[in-house]
């Protein structure tokens, strides 16, 4: 059943990524280049963490192709002060950027060079936007909460641990040169 769900989710994801690519504006803040977005299809042997991340992200997209909206709903509800950080882009653009970054980071989680090349500049951008160190924890909690909510009974402690470890890795790289 999971393979069928994952296959359907991948189709939903690829379709939504094509729409997002068409809607992407050239004037957007730094974003990951199209060439960096490989989708959720990973070449080579996957780790258990990779499998758990892909499985849960695909399931979240299958059940709610716009689950990043839920992420922002949770973030803004729990931490209303963060809403002010998102004035320069529409929430649709923010959701697209979040999705693209998550997919790319999941695909490249074990690739230190890729992470440094793409996420370190993103971290510097976030400092300029006014993101503080404590906000990274808020975002991580909202991310895990939103994926867990959409995955419902299929969400496990192993999924939560995989996402928390991945998010810690991502933020570690983003904050590497900014403190």
Q: Tell me whether residue 161 is in a domain.
A: yes
Tens digits of residue pLDDT in 76-94: 999 999 999 988 888 889 9
Q: Is residue 32 part of a domain?
A: no
Residue 123 lies in a domain: yes
Question: Does residue 107 form part of some domain?
Answer: yes
As a whole number of angstroms, the distance between CA 42 and CA 57 comes to: 14
Assess if residue 160 is contained within a domain. yes
What is the span of the domain harbouring residue 76? 2-19+45-174
Number of domains in the chain: 1
Residue at 129 is within a domain: yes
Residue 26 located in a structural domain:
no
The answer to whether residue 33 is domain-embedded is no
CATH number (domain holding residue 155):
1.10.490.10
Q: For residue range 21-32, list pLDDT tens digits in order.
A: 333 332 333 444
| pLDDT tens digit sequence for 139-162 | 999 999 999 999 999 999 999 999
In angstroms, the CA 71 to CA 74 distance is 5
């Amino acid at each position: 059943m999971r393979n069928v769900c994952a296959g359907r989710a991948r189709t939903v994801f690829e379709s939504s990524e094509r729409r997002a690519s068409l809607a992407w504006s050239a004037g957007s803040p730094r974003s990951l280049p199209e060439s960096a977005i490989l989708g959720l299809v990973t070449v080579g042997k996957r780790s258990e963490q990779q499998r758990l991340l892909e499985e849960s992200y695909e399931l979240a997209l299958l059940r709610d192709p716009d689950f990043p909206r839920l992420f922002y709903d949770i973030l803004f509800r729990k931490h209303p002060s963060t809403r002010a950080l998102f004035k320069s882009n529409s929430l649709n653009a923010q959701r697209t950027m979040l999705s693209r970054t998550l997919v790319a980071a999941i695909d490249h989680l074990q690739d230190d060079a890729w992470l440094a090349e793409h996420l370190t500049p993103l971290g510097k951008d976030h400092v300029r936007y006014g993101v503080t160190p404590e906000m990274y924890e808020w975002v991580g909690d909202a991310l895990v909460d939103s994926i867990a909510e959409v995955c419902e009974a299929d969400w496990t402690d192993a999924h939560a641990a995989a996402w928390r470890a991945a998010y810690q890795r991502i933020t570690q790289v983003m904050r590497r040169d900014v403190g």
